[in-house]
Amino acid sequence: MFSKSCEYGIKATLYIASNSNNGNRVSLNDISENIDSPKAFTAKILQKLSKNKIIQSIKGPSGGFEITTENMNNLRLSHIVKAFDGDDIYKSCGIGLEECNDSKPCPVHSRFKNIREELKRMLETTSILDLANGLTEGLTFLKH
């Protein structure tokens, strides 16, 4: 469904958010250990999140990553997905015709439409904070 990068991006953001909730800044090492992702690759992911102003990065000793309360509240899952995978998931569903529209639909169009819209709606209404809270409360997990 999502690219590996996007999956790591979501996990990393949520891990950072859950820690920022508690006032803790976290390092690349922390993150890649706790979300079970390759360290060097995760560094790239974090750079991208940082450039997209989803998280904040601080260099130097006792540096690391954090996310502002404002961002946690305002940013949605859709923002992260968009940063990594673009809006493909909203457009090129089904069998990937170049231009999709209702007036010249592909055979699976009507069947996929609802699902696609439900997914879109879910991503656009779920905030980082919503998801991070479950982590903080120990109700959900980022690795097994």
Partner DNA sequence: TCTATTTCGGACAAGAATATCCTAAATTAT
Partner DNA sequence: ATAATTTAGGATATTCTTGTCCGAAATAGA
Binding site for DNA (CB under 7 A): 3-5, 8, 27-29, 37-41, 43-44, 46-47, 50-51, 57-65
Letters for 96-115 (x = contact with ligand SF4 by CB under 6 A, - = none) are xx--x----xx-xx--x---
Contact status: 112 vs a copy of itself (CB under 8 A): yes
Q: How far is the CB of 60 from DNA (least distance, A)?
A: 3
For residues 122 and 111, what is the distance between their CA atoms, to the nearest angstrom?
A: 18
Residue with Cβ nearer DNA (50 or 133): 50
Per CB under 8 A, 90 contacts a copy of itself: no
